[in-house]
Amino acid sequence: MKDWIHRTDAVGVEDLEEMARGTGLLAVGQTMSPQLLAYTQAVVEQCASIADAYPTNDAEESAAEHIRAMLPF
């Protein structure tokens, strides 16, 4: 795996494809199908939904909002 695990900047589809290649889900040169992208979005949304349960603090955005903002959906 590369440095994408602890990124602090938003990711794009190309980044998601790199992650998928790093885990063996996509071959070199292969791109994400619309179905795989939709699945990825569903997983991210589920993670953000879990974070919705936590109270917000004085930050400008909640953890869930931050998770959603980091991805290209």
Q: Is the pLDDT of residue 37 over 70?
A: yes
Split into its structural domains, the chain has a count of: 1
- What φ, ψ does residue 6 adopt, rounded to 5°? -115, 40
Nearest-angstrom CA–CA distance, 21 and 72: 18
Q: Name the residue range of residue 46's domain.
A: 3-69
Q: Is the pLDDT of residue 3 over 80?
A: no
Q: How far apart are CA 70 and CA 67, in angstroms?
A: 5
Q: How much is the mean pLDDT over the chain?
A: 81
Query: In the structure, what pLDDT confidence band is assigned to residue 24 with cuts at 50, 70 and 90?
Result: very high
